[in-house]
């Protein structure tokens, strides 16, 4: 079973900047019977983009559940397939004249830096010259490999952890109720805001930045506090 995809509309925006992103989508929360989002809040789960785009189709949902169960039932087999997919992604990007980059937590929040593969400490050690990046709600992730960029995802339940995430070198993603990029605040929490909807390439963001995302899908109806309403 193929694990990675480059068909996500947002990640395809990166091609204009010379990058081709490959993303792994698992079944978020506990949809598969296994929890892959340990830091998820109620607001996060309610507004998850799991069903956005092609994710609205039942066959896609079933494939994500199958991948997730494979990860837990046969970790070795799963990781070997992941290696094959990364190698294939590198080859495809080279053919297109693009730089390959990888997101392993498209709809999950797994500590990939702790998962060994063969004699290697983790997947990042196996591909030291390849850029990986993700969002995370786990502010205490430390000793992150140099080729793995993490952006902390703020929610209605983890506001107090934002300073910890910043101290650990992570930028912070915040979902705002604004409809247009021009309506994003210039600063939030005393840090400059960048338009994180322009591309998905978070590793290119300036350090100590707020990554401003506009509410989409069910997030437009959020009342939990997951979405920051500018009028407040």
| Percent of the chain with pLDDT strictly greater than 90 | 63
- CA-nearest of 115, 114, 113, 134 to 25 is 134
Question: Does the pLDDT at position 35 exceed 70?
Answer: yes
- Please give the pLDDT value at position 53: 56
Per-residue pLDDT tens digits for 61-112 = 899 999 999 999 999 999 999 999 999 999 999 999 999 999 999 999 999 9
For the residues 144-151, what does the mean pLDDT come to? Answer: 96
What is the separation of C-alpha 146 from the centre of its chain, rounded to a whole number of angstroms?
A: 17
For the residues 25-32, what does the mean pLDDT come to? Answer: 89
| Percent of the chain with pLDDT strictly greater than 70 | 92
Question: Does the pLDDT at position 50 exceed 60?
Answer: no
Question: Six-digit token pair at 218?
Answer: 């069910």
Q: Averaging pLDDT over each range in 24-38, 88-102, 165-179, which range is the top one?
A: 88-102
Per-residue pLDDT tens digits for 56-73 = 557 888 999 999 999 999
- The helix (run of H) or strand (run of E) holding residue 164 is helix 162-167
For residues 189 and 173, the answer to whether their CB atoms sit within 8 Å is no
227 by DSSP, 3-state: which?
strand
Rg (CA), the chain: 17
Question: Does the pLDDT at position 177 exceed 60?
Answer: yes
Q: How far, in Å, are 103, 114, 205, 229 from residue 179 at the CA level?
A: 26, 38, 21, 11
- CA-nearest of 139, 107, 110 to 123 is 110
77 vs 225, residue with greater confidence: 77
Per-residue pLDDT tens digits for 180-222 = 888 899 999 899 999 999 999 999 999 999 999 988 877 777 7
The neighbour count for residue 78, using CB atoms within 10 Å, is: 20
- Please give the pLDDT value at position 200: 94
- Please give the pLDDT value at position 42: 67
Q: How confident is the model at residue 179 (pLDDT cuts 50, 70, 90)?
A: confident
- Please give the pLDDT value at position 225: 86
Question: Does the pLDDT at position 119 exceed 70?
Answer: yes
- Please give the pLDDT value at position 232: 47
């Amino acid at each position: 079973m193929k694990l990675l995809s480059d068909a996500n509309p947002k990640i395809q925006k990166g091609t204009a900047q010379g990058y081709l992103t490959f993303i792994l989508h698992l079944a978020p929360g506990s949809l598969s019977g296994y929890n892959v989002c340990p830091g998820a809040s109620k607001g996060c789960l309610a507004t998850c983009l799991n069903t956005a785009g092609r994710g609205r189709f039942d066959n896609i949902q079933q494939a994500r559940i199958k991948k997730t169960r494979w990860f837990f039932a046969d970790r070795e087999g799963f990781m070997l397939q992941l290696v094959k997919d990364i190698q294939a992604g590198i080859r495809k990007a080279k053919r297109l004249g693009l730089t390959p980059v990888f997101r392993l937590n498209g709809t999950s929040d797994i500590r990939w830096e702790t998962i060994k593969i063969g004699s290697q400490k983790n997947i990042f050690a196996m591909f030291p010259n390849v850029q990986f990046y993700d969002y995370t709600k786990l502010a205490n992730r430390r000793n992150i490999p140099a080729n793995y960029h993490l952006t902390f995802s703020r929610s209605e339940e983890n506001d107090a952890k934002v300073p910890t995430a910043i101290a650990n070198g992570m930028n912070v993603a915040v979902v705002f109720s604004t409809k247009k990029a021009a309506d994003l605040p210039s600063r939030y929490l005393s840090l400059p805001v960048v338009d994180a909807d322009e591309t998905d390439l978070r590793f290119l963001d300036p350090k100590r930045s707020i990554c401003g995302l506009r509410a989409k899908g069910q997030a437009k109806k959020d009342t939990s506090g997951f979405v920051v309403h500018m009028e407040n």
